[in-house]
Amino acid sequence: MLKLPRFFKNDVHKKQLLAKLKLTNCPFCNCSGKLIKNGKLKGNDANAYSDQVVNRGQRILCSKRAKSYQGCGKSFSIWEADALPGLSVDALILSKLLIAWAEHRSVHQGWQELSKCLSLNSAYRLWRRFGQVQSTLRERLARISLPPDCPGITEPRHQLTEHLKNSFNLADCPVTAFQAHFQTAFMGET
């Protein structure tokens, strides 16, 4: 039985998983052969001012269309690893913001580097939410690596950003790597 992930790790993983969808049991009713693709999760591109739409994931349905189908009719989402469920920004923007905030020691100065993609109020909301989920993030990161020594850094969120960068130092985007590795939303469930 193939266990369904919460996030696609990459395009190859996505293609393989969707090709084996009929061989996968439903996570709700445990029926085999009933899962079908039920549309894409779309969202606005946070990197552009235009009305450009990007793919953020895939909806999956346990079909119960006919009497021969004994599925439960429930649906669920599998997200792209670079999408943040419940947020309009993507993982790359959030990673850049976290790194900019850690370097400048200020939300406002970090936001100025990336101001074209979101408002200052949105940056402060992300900063607050990052503070609310930091204990969960620390616990998960401690499973794969020890926290780095951060002399001179007293803000816990900046220390956490350093831990995230060190844990996924080979990744282009540490937030995307976190979601692909742990199969959980970086900023928590919405």
Coil, strand, or helix at residue 180? helix
Contact 78, 57 (CB under 8 A): yes
Mean pLDDT of 168-176: 93
- Widest pairwise Cα distance in the chain: 66
More confident residue, 106 or 105: 106
Rounded mean pLDDT, 88-110: 84
Closest CA to 164 of 94, 86, 60, 62: 94
In this predicted structure, what is the pLDDT of residue 158?
Answer: 87
Of the listed ranges 24-38, 86-100, 112-126, 174-188, the one predicted with least confidence: 112-126
Residue-averaged pLDDT of the chain? 87
- The predicted pLDDT at position 93 comes to 87
Percent of the chain at pLDDT > 90 equals 48
Residue 163: pLDDT band (50, 70, 90) is very high
pLDDT at 1 over 60: no
Distant-in-sequence, close-in-space partners of 104: CB < 8 Å, separation ≥ 6 = 110, 113
Mean pLDDT of 120-128: 88
Q: Which of 37, 31, 38 is nearest to 69 (CA)?
A: 31
Per the structure block, which two tokens stand in for 46?
Answer: 């946070």
Neighbours of 48 (CB within 10 A): 11
Looking at residues 39-66, what average pLDDT do you find? 81
| CB atoms closer than 10 angstroms to residue 45 | 14
Q: Where are the domains of the chain?
A: 7-80, 91-182
Question: Which stretches within 6-151 are classed as H helix?
Answer: 11-19, 91-104, 107-113, 120-144
